[in-house]
Amino acid sequence: MFRRVFESVGKTWEHFTHGGEAGSQPWDSELNKHKRDIMMHATALEDGYDNEVKIDAIQKIGYLACTGGPEAASLAGNYIASLLNNLSAKDTSTEIKVESVKAIGVICHQHKENQAKVERLGGITTLTHIILVPDVPRLACWVCYTLAVLSMENPELLRELGEIQDLHMGFKIISEFTWKGWHRNMAKVMIRLIGYEGGTGDSSPEL
C-alpha cells in the first residue's frame, strides 16, 4: 500500500515539475494560491496522464474550489466541461467518474454561475442518463447529490427533471441502494424536491 502511495505522489510531483522553467507556466503569475493550485492540478485533466494523478487532481480541484472562496470556485468552473466529459466517456474508470461528479457538486454548491454552466454544457442530460441507468450505485448516489445542488432555488430545473420519462423510477431504484455514511438519502430528497409521490416541490434543500 505504501509503495502505491509513494508512486502516486511521485507521479504527481513529476507531472507538476515537468515541462518548463520558472515563469513559463500560466499559473506562475497568479498571486491567489487557491487559484494557482487549481490551474496546476487542472492540467492533469488532459489525456495521457495516469489515472491516480487524474483522481488526485480532480479531488484537489474540488477541495480548492470549496475552500478558496468565490474566485476559486469561478475558476474551477472553467473545468466543468472536462469533468462532464469524464462522465460520458466510455473508457473512463468508475473512480474517475465518481470523483468527477463529486467535484461538479462541490464546484456548483451555492454558485449560480457554475450551476448555469452545467446546464449550458448539457450536463443535465449526462447526469440524468446515469439516474436512468443506475448500474454503478456509488456513482448514482453522487449524481443524486449533484442534481440536488443544481436544483437549489431552481424551480425551472425541477420542472424540467419532472418531465423526463422514467426518471422517477430511476430515483426510486437508487433510493433503495445502501446509503450508509450519508447524512441523507439524496435519491429520496430528489423525489421530494421534484414533487413525485406528493412531495412538496421545495427547491431549497439543506445539503
pLDDT, position 5: 38
Cα 180 from Cα 128, distance rounded (Å): 23
Catalogue the E-assigned strands of the chain.
none
**At a CB cut-off of 8 Å and minimum separation 6, what does 103 contact?**
58, 59, 61, 62, 65, 76, 83
- Look at residues 121, 142, 173 and tell me which one is the last residue of a structural domain: 121
Angstrom CA distances, 34 to 27, 59, 78, 104, 161, stand at 11, 13, 14, 17, 34
Among 87, 164, 140, CA closest to 118: 87
Query: What is the C-alpha to C-alpha distance for residues 192 and 199, in angstroms, rounded to an integer?
Result: 4
Residue 64: the pLDDT is: 97
State the pLDDT at residue 57: 96
**Co-location of 150 and 131 in the same domain:** yes
Judge if 26 and 109 occupy the same domain: yes
Can you give the pLDDT at residue 20?
44
Domain range enclosing 38: 1-121
The predicted pLDDT at position 200 comes to 52
* pLDDT score at 14: 54
Phi, psi of 181 (to 5 degrees): 95, -10
What does the pLDDT read at residue 26? 78
Please check whether residues 152 and 111 belong to one and the same domain: no
Q: Are residues 162 and 115 in the same domain?
A: no
Same-domain status, 102 and 152: no
Question: In terms of domains, do 161 and 108 share one?
Answer: no
pLDDT 10s digits, 134-176: 999 999 999 999 999 999 889 999 999 999 999 999 999 999 9
CA–CA separation, 147 vs 161, rounded Å? 10
Instruction: Please indicate, yes or no, whether residues 54 and 114 belong to a single structural domain of this protein.
Output: yes
Residuewise pLDDT in 10s, the chain (207 residues): 434 433 544 455 455 545 444 457 877 888 899 999 999 999 998 877 899 999 999 999 999 999 999 999 999 999 999 999 999 998 999 999 999 999 999 999 999 999 999 999 999 999 999 999 999 999 999 999 999 999 988 999 999 999 999 999 999 999 999 999 999 999 999 999 999 876 555 555 556
The count of domains in the chain is 2
Of 93, 121, 149, at which residue does a domain stop? 121
At residue 194, the pLDDT reads: 95
